[in-house]
Chain A
Amino acid sequence: MQGTKVVRPFPFFRAGGRASQPQLAKPILVLEDVYKYFRPDQPTLRGVNLTVERGEFAFITGPSGAGKSTLLKLIYRELMVDEGRVLFCGRDIGRLTDKSIPFLRRNLGIVFQDFRIIDHWTVFENIAVALEILSMPQRLIRARVAEALERVGLNGRGDEHTSNLSGGEKQRVAVARAIVPEPALILADEPTGNLDPHLAIDILTLFEEINATGTTVLFATHDHSLISKRDHRLIAIDEGRVVEAQQGLKHWPGSGIHTLVG
């Protein structure tokens, strides 16, 4: 296995990865006057301007259908912006070719509400797939998966089939898969949407622990009870526009936040 090249085209994107000073100085994510239309007369996102610094934890909130998922999809290039730019570490991802998109995604960890884990695979296989894509040697994959399992509280459960896991455990597997390649940015799209409040707090705490190691986290949720418990930066989307509070609900600029989140 010696000499196997790990394909990681943007090594400096990694949390803790070495980056040159100019690269480190740039925000990890910048959205400049972004518009996204699904209907010509009604943009889902209208003129969104947003800057996320390296190592930040931010909630993205807003009612269902406000455009939270659309915003995240623009970042992992599931969708293309119609106007404006999305810069990831200074690179305009709207200009990436189709062949480059996988290399962008290798620097992102994506977690969904519906877990998106493969039920007939084991826990190990579900997590290891993110490293196999990077052509990592099996020995290293085993070590990294074991480490990720420990971080999400599923130590020693790699051989279990994910179909036997509870919802909370499945989401932990999804989080482990997202963090195992050590991405620079984690995009969590309603990761607690299918979980009861107690488990939701557990998962949120898990993301905070991941953030504490230097990984930037964008956590999309419409759960008011969840965001009210933390003082993270709050990015609310209302009718396609962004309203921000730097330190949670306590510092919300207006009174309308309760109409935005449930």
Chain B
Amino acid sequence: MEVKSAMTRARRGLREERRLYIVAVSSLAVAFLCLGATLLGVANLDAAADRWGQSGRITLFLKDDADPQDIAQLRVVLEGLSDVSEVAHVSPEQAKASFLEEADVGADLSGLPKEVFPASLEVTLVNGVTRERSESIATRLGQFRAVSDVESYRGWFEKLDHLLWGARMLAVGLALLVMFCVVAVIGNTIRLAVARRRQEIEVMKLCGATNGFVRGPFVLEGMFQGFASALLAVLALLVVYLSLHESIDSTLAALTGSRIIFLSTWTLLGLLAGGAIIGAVGSAVSVRRYLAV
């Protein structure tokens, strides 16, 4: 009954202070939108890193004068490894053709000599091979006589790792900033609401209302503000995602072979629940501080 009564009074409060709350919710939605956009970036980087990490590849560049027997022996060794799912020989002609097909630099590169493109063995690892294991295989394969160079894409993964770490830190920093904003904005909004409803509060206290009875609606109003802000931000993000993902996908898929993803259900629920909880906490703190009647 008390919850129902608090909800009724909170609804009345939201109706009466709607202008104040619309301003607060709009400001907070922008903060949540920044956080949501960063989380979206992290989620996509994470997914890309995961995808590329799982479908590991090693390229063995062969010496120009490599003995075909050595190359054949190398293939046998590779195909015998349980971590290897496929081995493909790429001749200089095929490498050049593939490069010309994929490169889109706006210049005619067909005149490049085929010696620029060394022959290679493209080794596809089975799914689930860890990056460390992939590194260890690459190091051992580099010792074969026919191999001039090994590309395990380690540097690239390290850069991606750094990028991901930076993005995650940014997300954590933004999450803290948003938390602070929510507590501050909702705290001040509730403070204003308390000041405007001082007479109501006084009347309730004189009628025998407990502190919990008086605080209840304010906490619910703060909770609603936090939730509504997060929901608005999620909806805005979804609209942007739905309108842009096809065009981004076509570019991204050509470049990296991966597609853009939206925030997971758990992240969405976390954002909404987080908004509501922080809103409630900010409101409770504010009411406790300013409700000295």
A interface with B by C-beta (< 8 Å): 1, 4, 76, 99, 102-108, 110, 116-118, 120-121, 129-130, 132-137, 177, 181
Contacts and interface: CB of A to CB of B under 8 A. Distances in A.
B206 A133 contact: no
A107 B202 CA distance: 17
Contacts of A116: 199, 202-203, 206
Interface stretch (B39-47, B124-132, B208-216): B208-216
B20 interface: no
B202 A133 contact: no
Interface string B192-226: 00000001101111111110010000000000000
16 contacts: A1-B1, A4-B1, A102-B209, A102-B213, A104-B208, A110-B207, A118-B203, A121-B200, A129-B203, A129-B204, A130-B207, A130-B208, A133-B204, A134-B208, A135-B1, A135-B2
* SS of A interface (majority): loop
Nearest 6 A-B pairs (CB), nearest first? A106-B208, A105-B208, A130-B207, A102-B208, A135-B1, A133-B209
B86 interface: no
A105 B202 CA distance: 12
A72 B95 CA distance: 97
B98 interface: no
A170 to B, nearest CB: 13
Chief secondary structure at chain B's binding surface = helix
A105 B213 contact: no
A118 B5 contact: no
Contacts of B199: 116, 118
B50 interface: no
A230 B202 CA distance: 32
Contacts of A133: 204, 207-210, 213
B206 A110 contact: yes
Contacts of A181: 207-208
Contacts of A108: 208
A129 B206 contact: no
Nearest to A1: B1
B246 interface: no
Contacts of B208: 102-108, 130, 133-134, 181
A106 B200 CA distance: 16
B64 interface: no
Contacts of A177: 207
